Amino acid sequence: MKPGIALLLCTGLALTACGGAMTPEEAAAEETPLATSEAALITCGDWVGWSDTGLTRCLANPDCGTNWVCEPRLKADEAPSLDNGPQQRPPVCPAGQVAVPYTNSGKMRYQFQYRACHDEAGNYTHTEYQYRNYASSCISC
């Protein structure tokens, strides 16, 4: 082993052994410049057009309206909030119950797009993806 490399290796080991573990702040300070320089070396191509994922999910959809349900009141502060825009009039519930609004579900379809990323030498590094909801219906799920 060359003397310069041995000295560098021994110095690095000695600092680690004597200094103990780095604090989270010290580790973050060391990693930030490395991540920044690594990111600068990677370039990503253009996004490929949107494609259907084939997935549908049943999710609460505000466009599908609200359904009110009378439920037992467990705490005084559980009364529903009516701050989310126009809603149908809540029902009159029996004593000890409160009207709770539930957003109706709808089927959602999703699309994705991707782009390939390469390092400075043109070698593939990774692929980035984006997803979006592109269609929904208020069909019962």
Q: Which residues pair with 130 in a beta bridge?
A: 113
Position 87 confidence tier, pLDDT thresholds 50, 70, 90: low
> Which tokens sit at 35?
């991540």
- Rounded distance, CA 35 to CA 125, Å? 14
What is the per-residue pLDDT across 105-119, written as a single tens digit (0 to 9) for each? 999 999 999 999 999
Domain positions in the chain are 44-80+91-140
What is the per-residue pLDDT across 44-68, written as a single tens digit (0 to 9) for each? 999 999 999 988 889 888 888 888 9
How high is the mean pLDDT of the chain?
75
Position 30 confidence tier, pLDDT thresholds 50, 70, 90: low
At 66, give phi and psi (nearest 5°).
-125, 145
Determine the length of the chain: 141
Query: Rounded to a whole number, what is the distance in angstroms from the first to the last CA of the chain?
Result: 69
Answer yes or no: are the C-beta atoms of 47 and 114 closer than 8 Å.
yes
SS3 60: strand
Highest mean pLDDT among 2-6, 57-61, 127-131: 127-131
Specify the pLDDT at position 61. Answer: 86
- Rounded distance, CA 18 to CA 30, Å? 18
pLDDT at residue 89 above 80?
Answer: no
Q: Find where tokens 């539930």 sit.
A: 102
> Which tokens sit at 45?
């191509």
